[in-house]
Amino acid sequence: MSVPSAAVERVVAGHRVLHLCETTSTSEVVRARLAAGLAAAGDVVLADAQTAGRGRRGRTWVTLPGALAASVLLAPPPLPRRGRLAVLAAVAACRALEATSARGLRIKWPNDLMRGEAKIGGLLAEVVERPGGGSLVVLGIGINLALRPEQLPPELRERAGHAGLPAGAATRDALLAALLAELDAALAEVGTPADAARGEDYRRRAWLVGRHVRLVAAGQSLEGVLDDVTPDGDLLLEGRLLAGETVELLPAR
């Protein structure tokens, strides 16, 4: 698989970045390049536009003009919990956004990025097999920097938000550099006091706490008010500590 003619390769924050004008999905390009032996841990694919971006559970992610749409190939160290990478990635994204002057950021479990009552972005981590054995993780990232309502399909206008940053290549590239640096630090500091502080940061930013939700855990559907989110990403629902599979926000009681 060769580099497309409309692509540019460059280095950002020590990572090799393949920058595409348009693609179906940055994560699919990473997968294809890995299968072809052209990608290594740390590589990034960045796109100005995606035609088939994806979120959790197969949901569509609409990439808006000027947004950050990228995927990075990670080789995480051994993590104490399966969901720990979602915690680290979400906190890294929030801290990178704040380093680029965004404010008021919170996390809707497990890794949607919120500003006020609107979703401004999300992350999707998927395990992929490395040719020759072993596994890596493709982390897909989509973040709206700014938008106008007319840029969105009508059904998304009330739910979508943005980071309140200028939409454009300069802001996007600064955000990407900050995010890659935060991810590198998070993975290098697993098991240290800085890692514990990231878990507390995740807990502090929990957007769903105090809200009425429907939670699926171990095949059971439960409803109630979410009391807390732990630093490891578990959920405390009306006194019960649960490892959630999905969470749906319900109307307030």
pLDDT at 59 over 80: no
Mean pLDDT of 132-143: 93
Per-residue pLDDT band for 204 (boundaries 50, 70, 90) equals: very high
Predicted confidence (pLDDT) at residue 72 exceeds the cutoff of 80: yes
Domain ranges for the chain: 8-204, 212-249
Q: Name the burial class of residue 99, with classes exposed (0-12), middle (13-18) and buried (19+) by CB atoms within 10 angstroms of its CB.
A: middle
pTM given for the model: 0.91
Contact, 53 vs 81, CB < 8 A?
no
Half-sphere exposure (CA, 13 Å, Cβ side) for 219?
0
CATH number of this structure's domain 8-204: 3.30.930.10
Q: pLDDT at position 3, please? A: 52
